Every structure is written in C-alpha cells, then in structure tokens.
Structure 1
Amino acid sequence: MTNTNFYSPKMLRKSVVELQKYIDNKTDYQEDAVLAAIWELENRAPLNPEIQALKQELEAQNKQFEEEPIAIKNETIALYSFNFIFLFGILFSVFAASILIGLNLVQLKNKPRSRMVLFTGLSYSFLQVYLIELFKITSPFVSIFSSLLGVYLLYYYFLKPELNPKETYQSRSTWQPLLIGMAIALPIAYYLMKAGGVGAL
C-alpha cells in the first residue's frame, strides 16, 4: 500500500530535482511535506541509505505524534486570516498583503514559497503603480479592484494550496501589522499632502 498524506498529490507533479530540494532543505518545509517527497521518490526509484534513514525517522515521528494525547495534537498554528489579509491589501498595498501571506507561509514552514510571494507581491505593486501612472487613472475604484485582484491571486496561488482542510488554524493577532502599517503610511500621506499643498501655492 502506497503511503500518502496531504502533500502527496502535489508531489506527483514534481520532478526528481524538485523532490530532492525538499530533502536537501528539509528545515524549510513541514515534515509531512518532506515525507511526501520521499515517498514519491521511493515510488520512482529505490532510495539511497541516507534518504531511507530520514524516511524512517520521519515516519517514526509521525507514528509518535499519532499516539500523543489529544491535548498535544490540538496545538494550532496561528495565521493571519483571509479577511484581514484582503483588508490589509486594500488599506496599504498588495506588497503589504504579500508580507502577511509570507509570514503565514513561514508559520506553515514553507520558507521558499514565502520568499516567492514577497517577490511577486513587490513586482505586482510596482506594475500596478506604473500602469496607473501610465494611463493617468484617478478613479479609486480601479486602484481598489486591482489591489483586490492582486491579493486574491497571491492568496489562492501561494497560500491556499498550503492550507490543510483537515487542520484548524488559529487567528493571529492583527494589531501589530496594523500599527506598523499606519506608522509607515501616515507620514507618507502627510508628506504627499504637504507637497501637494506647496505645489498649489
């Protein structure tokens, strides 16, 4: 019988090189993801002794976890919620929302994907500003819609595939990113207003 877990379907589409990355950088990923990569490699070819030993270690940890008391199992990962990420993206920027998504991915132990979402969010924000300036768009609805679209794409492409529907996630506190966002945004807004006022004079 073939071993499978939540990450197994994703591993079916990956090359041997991509699967090996999970093993070589195992501290960057959840243990279940590494184990799924090993199982998929094993389905394709015999494992070398080093990977076989890692497989046995991870399987033993899984078995131990299954036998642990329910109270220990029920420890949940704290993540920023879907609604807060969208609100944050509208209030500040798509890049700001990508930071929250990246932090969620770090909590889910997928650091490579967290770096990818930050780069993508930054690129999207630059492109968004460039196009708005290029076409001299002044409607706030266009800006809001494009921000919503950007956050939606980032969330569903980068974060949603990493969320296990069988897991329950705790909502992470939102006051800290809000305060940081306001601390950055308010001085910028004030400066722009002052600059606009000086120009008008």
Structure 2
Amino acid sequence: MTEISVREIISVVADHFGVAAAEIVSQRMHRQVLWPRVAVVGLAARLTPYTLTHIGRALGNRDPSTICSSRQKFVARLSSDPAAAREIEAIETALLQRSTGRNGEHQAVTELAALEREIASRATEARRAQALAEAGERRLATVRNAHAIVATARRLASVERAARDGMPAAMRKRDAAMAELLRLAGDAHV
C-alpha cells in the first residue's frame, strides 16, 4: 500500500469541504477552514506515521502543541458528533482508495479502522457501566445502613419504654442500643 502524505490529506479534505488547500495551510483563522484544518490534523495523525512536528510543518509551520490541541478537538468532535464522524469516514475512505490500487487492501484497512472505532466505543461503554455499578453498590450499602439504623432505633424505643418502667436490665439494653445506633450513624453515608 502506498503511504498517504499530509499533502494528499490536505487536498482531499479541501475538495470535500469546498475550500482551497492554501486556506487550510494559511495562518488565517477563517471559520470555514477551522474544521477542515482540524480534520487534516486528525486524519494525518490517524493515517500517517508522521510526528506532530512534521504535520505542523506541512500545515504552515504550526507549533506541535497547536497540532496536539487540534488532534484532541478532532477526537472530541468525532465522539460527540455522528455526522462529523460519518463525514471523516467518507474522507478517510477516499484517501485510502486513492493510496492503494488493490481493493482488498483498502477493504482490510477500512475494516481495521472500523474495528478500532468499535473497540474504543465499547471500552467507553464498559467504563460507564463500571461507574454505574459502583454507584449502585454505594447506594445499596447506604440503604442497608439506613435499614440497620431504623431497626436499632426501633429496638431503642422499645427498650426505652421498658426502662421508663424502672427495669435495670432494660436500662443496660437501652445503653447498648444507643451505642450501636451511634456507631451505625457514625459509619453511615446517609
């Protein structure tokens, strides 16, 4: 498979968005070229072996930290905007078709890219599920502790009634139940 260059990416992205390639590499901050420029950075980082420094040079001698920031914006937008993700996938497909003459290689690369995106998506879902499970466990522990506090308070009320009648054993039980209630309340996340 032929290696894709940053120039090719700039050309295909410019054609796709209907802007001039010179505008993408210019230092101007026109609104209509901001997303195409970010798309070039993201695609170059994804499809080429080049460093951020090399990508920055190809985009008008931009600083690597600027390129890194653009790459982060690219990833964030793809994860939050399905239309942008489809658009980038179409551009990526065009680039891969352009870089290879063999359809089998292109298909394998496209499938691999799709699998990588699926893995990333499922990893995110797994992290969310884990966080929900942990929150559920904490909630369950809080509910159990609340039930234990209520049960101890009921026992304390029962013993308190008996203690009012002057029974010494009931007074000891009352003191023990009060100590238990204080311990539970101190450990509680209520």
Q: TM-score range by the shorter chain?
A: under 0.3
Structure with the bigger RCO (C-alpha within 8 Å, sep 6+) is 1
Please say which structure displays the higher CA radius of gyration: 2
Higher helix share: 2
TM-score normalised to structure 1 length: 0.24
